[in-house]
Structure 1
Amino acid sequence: MPTKTFTPAFMATGLVCPAGMKKIEYGVDGDPGLFVECRASQKSVPTWYLRLKNEKGTNIYKKLGTIKDLSLTQAQKLAKMLRAEHASAAKQGDAAAAAPAEMTLDVFVRDHVNPHNAMRKRSHGRDLQLYHRIGPKFGHLKLTEIRRREVQVFHNELVQVDKLAPASADHHIVYLKRILNLAQQWEFLEKNVLAKVPLMKVDNKVERYLSAEETQRLVAVLTTDLAYGASYALLFLLSTGARLNEALQAKWEQVDLENAIWRIPASNSKSKKSRAVPLNDSAMWVLSQLWTKGKHDYLFVNEATNKPWVTLTRAWYRLRAKAGIENLRVHDLRHSFASFLANAGQSLLLIQQLLGHADPRTTLRYAHLSGEKLKEAANEASVIVRPSGSKAA
C-alpha cells in the first residue's frame, strides 16, 4: 500500500485507480491504519477505511465514509475515536476472559443465564423454581469448583431427604447441566463436568386413553352441560387433538370456516412453527355453537367474566366427575384423539402431521394402538391359512 501525504492537491487529483488495476489503497502518511480505497469503476467514490487488529491478531476494517462525506481532518478524528473504542472493548474482553475463573454460579445464572432464557424459553419460570434448590447448594461456588460427585450426592438427596419423585429430581440435574452447557458454549468453561452425570430415568409416562364407552359418556356431558362455555373448549380439544394452550389462544382470524382450516401461528405452537389443522365435522360443530363469533377476538371466552379462558382445570374436574371418569387429564384428550386415528388404521406419519409433532419418535407412543390393524394387514399375506373371507391368489 503506497503511503501519501494527503495535501489538498493530492486529494483533488491524486485519488485515482491506475490503469490496469481494479482498486488501490493509499495510506495516510503519519496515521497508520487510515487509508483511502479507490476503485476503477467510474461510479465509485474514493472511500475512507480504518484498519485495526482483532484479538486473534488478524486485520479488521471499519468503513468511515467517502471523501465527499469526510475531509482528512474529520476522517482522522473519527479514526482516533474508533481506535479508542476498539482498545476499550479489547480491555473489557480481556477482563471478561479472566472473569469466569472467579465467577460464582449465582452470578452466572443471574447475569447471563436468566436474561438469555427469559427471551427463549417458555419454561423459564419453572427453571427459576428449580434453582431455589440448586442455588443454596451450589450458588456460592465458582463455575470451575462445581464437581460431579457433589452433584450426584445432591441428586440422591432430592429423593431420599426432600422426598421428591425421581423424575422431579432429574429435572434439577438436567437444568444444572444446561447451565454449564451454556457456560461452555459461551467459553466461560472449557468443558461441562456434569455432561455424564446419569439420571434416574424413571419411566413415568402416563398412557391414558378414553375407551369407546368413556368417550360416549364424556361427549354426552360436554354437549349438555354448557355452563360458562368450558365444555366447548374441551370438545374442541377432543375433536382436534390440539394442545390446551393452542386452543385457549386461538382467535377467529386464524380460522378459515369455508375451507375448515385452523392455522396455529408459530407464537402459539410448542414447536415454534406455524401449522394448519384440518377441522373435522365435530370441530366445525363446536365452532358453530360459540357465541364469540363476531363479538370477540378469541374463540373460547368465559361467559361469566367475558375474558378468554386461562385454565380449564376446575371445570374439567367437575365435568369429568359428572361423566364418571377417573384419572384422565385434559392433555389425555389429545392422546385420545391420536388413539382414535391409530385404531382407525391411520398411519403414524399422518398422526404426526395432525398432532404437529416435530420429532416422529414422539408419535411412536401410539404405534401399539394400531396393533390389530397391523395384524389384519399382515394376515393379507398369510400363505398357509387365509383369513376368513379372503381368497387365495
Structure 2
Amino acid sequence: MATATITRTLAKSPPAVPAGKRQVRVFDDRIRGFIMEVRDSGSITFWLRYADARGRAKEVRIGRLGDITVDQARQRAEQLRAAVTLGGDPGADRDKVRSVASFGEFVEQKYLPKVRDALRAAADYEAMCRLRLVPALGRRALDEVTPSDVSELRRKLLAEGLSNGRVNRHLAVLRRIFGLALRWGAYEGRNPAAQPDMLPERHREEFLSDAQHVRLLAALDAEPDRVAAAAIRLLALTGARRNEVLRARWAHVDLVRRTLTVPLAKNGERRHVPLSDAALAVLRALPRALDNPHVFPSARRRGQPLENVRGAWARAKRAAGLPASLRLHDLRHSFASALANRGHSLYEIGQILGHKQVATTTRYAHLSQDRLVAAANAVGEISRPSPASAGDVKTEGG
C-alpha cells in the first residue's frame, strides 16, 4: 500500500500501474482514508475510506480528476472525515438518496399492486396514473416533486378540459400515492400533494320522480335486450353501484336471506345489498347459464359478465321520456331519494348504499319538493290560530 502526500505534483506524475493490474492506490499521509486511485487507462479518481458506526469499512467516491481539482478533492475529504468523526455516514446518505424510486417506479411497483388488490375501482385509478400522473411526474424522484409541480399538474388538467370533480379525483390519488410512499419509507420529506387546492364541485342533483320511475320500469319491460333490461331494473331497485350488479355472480346471491353480497366494494370492504320483493322477482326470473357463473352473462365473451348496458339504457330513457342527461348512476341517487321521501333515516339509507359517512349519504338522499313544502307548511300551521283559540281573544274593554 503506497503512502504519500496527495498533491497536484503527484497527480501530474502518478505512480505507474504494475503490469497485470488494473489500478494502483495511493493513501494520503495527512488525511486518514483519503485515496488517489490511478487506473491503467490513466484516469485518476479520489475516494475516502472510513468505518461507520458499526465498524464496517466503507468508501465514498469524491470525484474524478478533471471534474474536480486535487485541492478540491482534499478539501472534500477533510469535510467528509469531519462528518464521520461527528457520527455521520456519507456513504449511507449517498445510498439513501440513490435508492429513492422515481414517481413512475413507485406507482408501477408499489401503488398499483395495492390498488388492484384492495379496490374495485382499480381500473379507474390505473387510467389516471397511466394517462396523466405518470407522464407528468414519472421521471422525478419521489423526493424531488414539489408543491409547485402539483400546482402545475392541476393547471394542465384544467387546461385539458377536465371537470372540477375529475381534477379533484386526480389530485386525491396523487395525495394518496405520496402518503403511502411516506408511510412505507420510500423517501423522507413531506407530501407535496398534502394541500393540492381542491376545486369547488357542484354535485349533480338529477333523480327520478315516482312517476318517472314507473315509466322507466315500463320501458324496461319492452326492452329487447332482456339481460341488460334486468340489470338496469336491479340497479333501480337496489341502489347498488353499476359494477356491483354487472359483475355479480350467482354464488353471491342468497335468495333465502335476501342479500346480494359484494365481496369487494368501492371502499375495499365486503358489503351486503338487501333485496326487496321486486328485486328478488328480477333475479328469480333470470335464466342461469351453465357455462357462466355471472348473474348477467356476456353474450359475446364466454364465462364473462355483461360488458355494459349503454344501448339498453339509452333506449329505455327515450321510451320513458326521461332527460338525456340522466346517468345510470343517478338511479342510485333516485333510490336513496325514494327512501328519504318515505321517512327512512340517513343511517338506514347509508347502510343500504354501503356508505361509511353520513355526509356521503346526504348527497344522495334528495327530498322531493312536495315533501319540502309539506315540511314548511308545518311551521305555517303553528303560526295559524285555531278556531277555538280565536274565539278566546279578548278585545280591549271586553
Query: TM-score band (shorter)?
Result: 0.5 to 0.7
Instruction: In structure 2, give the amino acid aligned to 1:299.
Output: V
Superposition TM-score, scaled by structure 1 size: 0.64
Shift in alpha-carbon separation, 1:223–1:119, aligned structure 2, 3 A: same
Instruction: Give the match for residue 166 of structure 1.
Output: 164
Confirm or deny that 1:365 pairs with 2:346: no
> How many Å apart are 1:338 and its aligned residue?
1.3
Cα distance in 2 for partners of 1:379, 1:133 equals: 52
Residues 314-348 of structure 1, C-alpha deviations (whole Å, 9 max, x = no match): 22122222222221111111211111111112211
Instruction: Give the match for residue 396 of structure 2.
Output: none
Instruction: In structure 2, give the amino acid aligned to 1:319.
Output: A
Shift in alpha-carbon separation, 1:309–1:101, aligned structure 2, 3 A: closer
Cα contact 2:244–2:262 (8 A) shared by 1: no
Gaps of 5+ in 2: 1-52, 55-91, 388-398
Instruction: Give the match for residue 15 of structure 2.
Output: none
Cα contact 2:120–2:268 (8 A) shared by 1: no
Deviating runs (4+, > 6 A) in structure 1? none
The SS at the match of 1:308 is: coil
1:54-133 to structure 2, matched below 5 A, reads 98-99=96-97, 103-131=101-129, 132-133=131-132
Equivalent position to 2:237, from 236, 239, 250: 239
Instruction: Give the match for residue 182 of structure 2.
Output: 184
Instruction: Give the match for residue 87 of structure 2.
Output: none
The SS at the match of 1:276 is: strand
Cα distance in 2 for partners of 1:387, 1:286 equals: 51
Cα distance in 2 for partners of 1:324, 1:171 equals: 32
Equivalent position to 1:311, from 288, 308, 316: 308
> How many Å apart are 1:362 and its aligned residue?
1.0
Cα distance in 1 for partners of 2:207, 2:256 equals: 32
Instruction: In structure 2, give the amino acid aligned to 1:207.
Output: E
Aligned residue pairs: how many? 296
> How many Å apart are 1:140 and its aligned residue?
2.8
Instruction: In structure 1, give the amino acid aligned to 2:222.
Output: T
Alpha-carbon RMSD: 3.6
Instruction: Give the match for residue 251 of structure 2.
Output: 253
The SS at the match of 1:230 is: helix
Cα contact 2:118–2:268 (8 A) shared by 1: no
Equivalent position to 1:284, from 280, 283, 298: 280
Residues 172-230 of structure 1, C-alpha deviations (whole Å, 9 max, x = no match): 33333222222221221222133123122x31322211123322221111123243421
Cα distance in 2 for partners of 1:335, 1:372 equals: 18
Equivalent position to 1:213, from 211, 214, 226: 211
The SS at the match of 1:277 is: strand
Cα contact 2:119–2:268 (8 A) shared by 1: no
> How many Å apart are 1:386 and its aligned residue?
7.1
Instruction: Give the match for residue 266 of structure 1.
Output: 263
Gaps of 5+ in 1: 1-55, 58-93, 389-393
Shift in alpha-carbon separation, 1:299–1:387, aligned structure 2, 3 A: farther
Cα distance in 1 for partners of 2:241, 2:145 equals: 39
Cα contact 1:302–1:309 (8 A) shared by 2: yes
Confirm or deny that 1:152 pairs with 2:148: no
Instruction: In structure 1, give the amino acid aligned to 2:227.
Output: G
